[in-house]
Amino acid sequence: MSYLFDPANWEWLVTGNNFRFILEGFLVNLEIAVIAMAFALAFGLLLALARLTRVRPVAVAAGAWVDVFRNLPLIFLILYLALGLPAPWRNAYEDVVPSFFPEALQSGRVLAALLGLVLYNSAVLAEIMRAGILSLDRGQGEAASALGMTYAQSLRFVILPQGLRRMVPATVSQLITLNKDTTLVSIIAIQEVMRHGRIVTGFNFFGGVQAPVLQVFLFIGALFVLTNFLLSRLSRRLEVRERRLTAGRATPTVAGVEDQVAAEPVR
């Protein structure tokens, strides 16, 4: 305990630019999370629709794809892609990545990290979206087609606006999981907060004192807890609002338990 709170062990935080350096690393994590989430949402929606289509082979293939990528460890995907992606792909990424992106995201390895995060999270999000769509009353789709809407129209104007609204809270919780998972890209040597933490605790540091490992990672952990706590508050508020908006009718919202989707049974 005395080791933990000894002011000498916290001196690193106010020495040199250690504090700034850690925060810069954390910002890279947030950026990776946002980029991966955007792609995962788009790709996840495609997968969910493919899974729900009436074209059997497409639905079965999409189902198998989702089940495989949802059940593989994310760290497995990232590591495999980092080792197995052909070099031309990585070079192509380095060519197209916008130059205003931070330096940490310019490396070709980031492609492996982003691909891994998107493959995994799109599979999870596809399940969340599918559960949201399936939780709608069948009558909604039937009424839409009785009104003469095409399948695409009924999706766009009737099914998706309602189904996707139900998955907003679950999507925010998935963003929390994704935010935590961005630390995994440090394993393939992308310069984010874990790497910055290791640099600060290492011998080749700039700032004067070598920082103790325990305190540095407690501080990094606190950054995550704070950010994710705010996100989970947001998720809860959205859930409450959704319930108020649809008061009177029992609407199942789609809830995720550590990426495993639990939707209420479809009646």
How many whole angstroms separate alpha carbon 245 and alpha carbon 264? 19
Rounded least distance, CB 196 to another protein, Å: 12
**Residue 143 binding another protein, by CB under 8 A:** no
How many whole angstroms separate alpha carbon 165 and alpha carbon 152? 18
> Which range touches another protein (CB under 8 A), out of 135-143, 152-160, 223-231, 234-242?
223-231
**Residue 135 binding another protein, by CB under 8 A:** no
> Which range touches another protein (CB under 8 A), out of 18-26, 79-87, 96-104, 130-138?
79-87
Of the candidates 180, 188, 44, the one whose C-alpha atom is nearest the C-alpha of residue 121 is: 44
CA angle 108, 113, 115 (to 5 degrees): 95
Please say which residue, 12 or 144, places its beta carbon nearer to another protein.
12
> Which range touches another protein (CB under 8 A), out of 76-84, 142-150, 154-162, 234-242?
76-84
**Residue 183 binding another protein, by CB under 8 A:** yes
Please say which residue, 239 or 259, places its beta carbon nearer to another protein.
259
**Residue 87 binding another protein, by CB under 8 A:** no
How many whole angstroms separate alpha carbon 3 and alpha carbon 191? 29
User: Considering CB under 8 A, how many residues would be counted as binding another protein?
Assistant: 44
Please say which residue, 59 or 79, places its beta carbon nearer to another protein.
79
**What three-state secondary structure class fits 260?**
strand
> Which residues in 11-41 are b (16+ Cβ under 10 Å) and which e?
bbbebeebeebbebbbebbebbbebbbebbb
Kindly report the number of other CB atoms within 10 A of residue 183's CB atom: 19
Interacting positions 158-177 with another protein (CB under 8 A):
176
Using the rule CB under 8 A, which residue among 34, 80, 157, 243 binds another protein?
A: 80
How many whole angstroms separate alpha carbon 220 and alpha carbon 147? 55
Six-digit token pair at 65? 């794809």
Residues making contact with another protein (CB under 8 A): 3-4, 68, 71-76, 79-80, 83-84, 176, 180-181, 183-184, 186-187, 194, 197, 201, 212-218, 220-221, 224-225, 227-229, 232, 257-260, 262, 265
